[in-house]
Amino acid sequence: MPATHTPSVSDSRVELTQLMRPQHANFRGNVHGGTLLALMDEVAYACATKFSSAYCVTVAADAIELVAPVRVGDLLTLTGAVTSTGRSSMEIGITVTAGNPRIPGDCRDTCRCFFTMVAIDDAGKPQPVPQVRLETPGDKQMHCEAQLRRDLRKRYQEELAKGVCLLPPGGEEG
């Protein structure tokens, strides 16, 4: 029986570079956040599918931080990798940098986000994924942070299910 390959964080890594054009931006020349999210979703899909060898769907996007504007004419580089795995789910960490290609060395962090993707079979049911192999201290740190995000999401859902934040009739606080 052949040995089963356990994919690592680096095995899942995907990078996409794209020129930001006027159709991606608002009237001030800043790229729309929705454009960035769509590109990040594509990278998350590519990472998850590469890692799991399965069709994958997006189930959540967390901790979205838009830290600096992206402008028309910037080269945008999106880098993603699996940070954590569950039974059928994978968290994909994505970083986005941008820079003016006419200015050597221009590179600024613009966005970070974490997507949760689920591998599904031909019937559309969740299917198991391999556990991610952590190789570096950075991989281990990201995995630890992913577990914290997972625990916080679970706690948040439990609190919502209790109806903790419901407003009184009339919809306004007392």
The whole-number mean pLDDT for each consecutive block of 10 residues of the chain, a chain of 174 residues, reads 71 95 93 95 97 96 92 96 96 96 93 96 96 94 93 88 70 56
Count up the domains in the chain and report the number.
1
pLDDT at 157: 87
Inside any domain, residue 168? no
pLDDT at 99: 95
pTM: predicted TM-score of the whole model, two decimal places: 0.87
Inside any domain, residue 171? no
Inside any domain, residue 62? yes
Q: Return the CATH number at 61.
A: 3.10.129.10
Question: In this structure, what token pair is assigned to residue 174?
Answer: 């007392």
Show the domain range for 40.
Answer: 9-162
Inside any domain, residue 174? no
Inside any domain, residue 45? yes
Inside any domain, residue 3? no
Inside any domain, residue 63? yes
Inside any domain, residue 1? no
